[in-house]
Structure 1
Amino acid sequence: MTILQADTSAPEAQVYDFRRPTTLAREHSRVLELAFETFARQWATQLTAKVRVLSQVTCEWVAMQTYDEYAASLPATTAMVLCELDGVAPKGVIQFPTTAALSWVNVMLGGHGAPTEGERTFTQIEHALVRRLMDDALEDLRYSLGSLLVTPIAVDAIQYNSQFAQAAATAELMIVAGFDLRVGDNVSSATLALPAVVLLPQLGETNPTSSAENARELVDAQLAHVPVDVSLRLAPASVRPSVVLGLAVGDLLPLPHPQHRPFDLAVGGHPVAEAALGASGSRLACVIVRTED
């Protein structure tokens, strides 16, 4: 007798919630990339001014991840600045190596910024200086995101264990941006994570569409507000090139337009009406006397 065993190697199907997509639309991704690139430049300027060492920050990527995925990608020991958002349970996170922050503090206190060995927590003075740097970074973030970040944000606490720092529920969607930091000779990586629920509503619909039922009315309404060039024209005269090439100041060029005939009113080179010359205050004007069908 043959005993059939169940195939345990088959992939397990995962439930996908279409109401909470885990990838960014291309339009949303580009808008966020531009905003975070602006933040990177502002942050670099702030670090240069505060640490007093030439700094450069570059935004490398932007993605949407669950908080569980984000936390799993971080080192076990690192500096995680938890940022509180008014009226929102999940917190934002600014993450960078503690060794990088300690080198910044070392320079601020008059040292040479030599990298420290191993990760460790901050002392009270180091904590205060790093928190001040993060307060300034959040000011840059608010400026860079502009209307995308309408919720007030502030530093809440600094944690050092990425697995224990519960900034959000494991399934909470986060907008995560990765940065390369160069402060003097020290190079490190940093990440910024913000709850998607805070940013996505300001991004609007990905592909907004309009009903085609009233397409003609929409086109007519749009055309009615498009500016066009309007001109008054005399009847054209036919002349030889030799006459044009021989024109000089004082020459008379007879035109076949009768004195009693109105001018042609043209839009985009096409006659649409006839008009008589007049005045409106100190400016010339025309009076429509006949329109084309």
Structure 2
Amino acid sequence: MSNEEMLSQEEIDNILKSMALGESAEDIFKEYETEERRIREYDFRRPMKFSREQLRTLQLVHENFARELSTYLSGRCRTFVDVKYASVDQITFSEFQKSLSSPTFMAVFSADVFSGSSIFQMGLDIGYVIIDRLLGGTGSVLEELRTPTELEMNILRKETAVILRTLSRSWMNIEEFEATLENLETNPQFVQVASSNEMTILITLSVTIKDVQGFVNLCFPSSTLEPLTDKLSTRMWTKVYKRQEITRENLKQILLLSKLKLTAILGRTTLTLNDILNMEVGDVIRTDSFFNEPIDIEIQGEKVFKAQIGKIKGFYSVKILKKDKELLEKILVEESIKDQLKKQEDTENVKSKELKENA
């Protein structure tokens, strides 16, 4: 028998006492095996600060943030941007720093409800695509990542400030706060918001802009989230989520009643200005389609339906033959984004006007 399998004198005494009380040897050894199975390894260098329930709540919060961020970036970049929640992990702050390449984009932010600072980190592959789209480009990718210029950093600073406001809205179900941008950095080693061995919560989001895919990370030191640990409960989130379902249904009904421009295209052709000036009654214009072919029906200038021309009760009409569901959903999303951006601009204009009047 090895030393690990040998019983101590105290364990032997306990077994003898149990047998004296009438317990069988088999029951006693089963009890010891059960106790042994309960023992788990614990690494004091990597203590787990948050329970599974708390991690689940953080996941729900940042899934909501991913949807909000996708809507905002789609409007700003004038193209469809897909942001998805990827993972939530507990790692030390030094491990987070080592996982980042240099240069990168890091924004340190804080809030009155936090007991410290946190980090918003975005890969420069995504950052440069956003900058290029904002400046009217096609969203091209740099062959070699470099440190951003002062102008590029100012653009990213402005966008990050708006993104942090979006993050604040996503946390409203847990705690209302206003995130404050403290400073920006491109070298991970120059950012020190926690000690090297302190455990942090790392939330990773996957961002896809056209053919470019990258990641956005949010790093919350455990000491920063300590004031909110009691509120990180899925029960609290579920109560608020039920109320949100009613609001979401109301928004869906409003969206379904939105007015969009629908156009049936009988055919297309190209004419010179001279042809148009010489056009008279009775002239025939030749188009690129035949009378018995299906025609295109456009919504907001996008081809969504294929239809057949006909007549019903003396009125000209079209019969839907084919529908592009994905394109239709995209158009509805884009129109919703435009409406939201317009409302945000109107709100900001009203606030700036009030500030000028008060000044």
* Range class of TM-score, shorter chain: 0.5 to 0.7
For 1:149 and 1:66, how far apart are their aligned partners in 2?
25
Q: Percent identity?
A: 25
Q: What amino acid is aligned across from residue 22 of structure 1 in structure 2?
A: M
SS in structure 2 of the partner of residue 100 of structure 1: helix
Note the residue ranges of structure 1 that are not aligned, 5 or more in a row: 1-12, 208-293
Do the aligned residues in 2 keep the contact of 1:81 with 1:94 (CA within 8 Å)? yes
For 2:232 and 2:184, how far apart are their aligned partners in 1?
35
Deviation (angstroms), 1:157: 1.7
For 1:72 and 1:150, how far apart are their aligned partners in 2?
32
Query: What do the CA deviations read for 1:240-270 (whole angstroms, capped 9, x no partner)?
Result: xxxxxxxxxxxxxxxxxxxxxxxxxxxxxxx
SS in structure 2 of the partner of residue 171 of structure 1: coil
Q: Which residue of 138, 142, 146 corresponds with 2:164?
A: 138
Q: TM-score normalized by structure 1?
A: 0.59
Report the counterpart of residue 119 of structure 1 in structure 2: 145
Deviation (angstroms), 1:98: 1.5
Pairwise mapping of residues 22-61 of structure 1 onto structure 2 (< 5 A)?
22-61=48-87
Deviation (angstroms), 1:121: 2.0
For 2:121 and 2:50, how far apart are their aligned partners in 1?
21
Q: Which residue of 183, 186, 192 corresponds with 1:157?
A: 183
Range with greater deviation from structure 2 (136-145 or 151-160): 151-160
More strand by share: 1
Query: What do the CA deviations read for 1:50-72 (whole angstroms, capped 9, x no partner)?
Result: 12221011111112222112112
Range with greater deviation from structure 2 (191-200 or 122-131): 191-200
Report the counterpart of residue 74 of structure 1 in structure 2: 100
Deviation (angstroms), 1:24: 2.9
Who wins on radius of gyration, i.e. which is larger?
1
Report the counterpart of residue 44 of structure 2 in structure 1: 16
Do the aligned residues in 1 keep the contact of 2:114 with 2:227 (CA within 8 Å)? no
| 1:140 to 1:186, Cα distance in 2 relative to 1, 3 A | same
**1:181 aligned onto 2:207:** yes
For 1:177 and 1:14, how far apart are their aligned partners in 2?
23
Deviation (angstroms), 1:93: 1.0
| 1:201 to 1:52, Cα distance in 2 relative to 1, 3 A | same
For 2:216 and 2:61, how far apart are their aligned partners in 1?
16
Q: What amino acid is aligned across from residue 52 of structure 2 in structure 1?
A: R
SS in structure 1 of the partner of residue 125 of structure 2: helix
Q: What amino acid is aligned across from residue 167 of structure 2 in structure 1?
A: L
| 1:187 to 1:130, Cα distance in 2 relative to 1, 3 A | same
Query: What do the CA deviations read for 1:89-139 (whole angstroms, capped 9, x no partner)?
Result: 742111122132111111111111110122222223211221111111111
Query: What do the CA deviations read for 1:148-187 (whole angstroms, capped 9, x no partner)?
Result: 3555421122211112222322133322101110112211
For 2:211 and 2:180, how far apart are their aligned partners in 1?
30
Q: Which residue of 97, 110, 122 corresponds with 1:84?
A: 110
| 1:153 to 1:171, Cα distance in 2 relative to 1, 3 A | farther
Do the aligned residues in 2 keep the contact of 1:67 with 1:174 (CA within 8 Å)? yes
Do the aligned residues in 2 keep the contact of 1:23 with 1:63 (CA within 8 Å)? no
**1:104 aligned onto 2:130:** yes
Report the counterpart of residue 216 of structure 2 in structure 1: 190
Q: What amino acid is aligned across from residue 66 of structure 2 in structure 1?
A: A
Do the aligned residues in 1 keep the contact of 2:125 with 2:142 (CA within 8 Å)? yes
Note the residue ranges of structure 2 that are not aligned, 5 or more in a row: 1-40, 234-359
For 1:123 and 1:206, how far apart are their aligned partners in 2?
39
For 1:149 and 1:206, how far apart are their aligned partners in 2?
10
Do the aligned residues in 2 keep the contact of 1:79 with 1:98 (CA within 8 Å)? yes
More helix by share: 2
| 1:38 to 1:88, Cα distance in 2 relative to 1, 3 A | closer
Q: What amino acid is aligned across from residue 143 of structure 1 in structure 2?
A: R
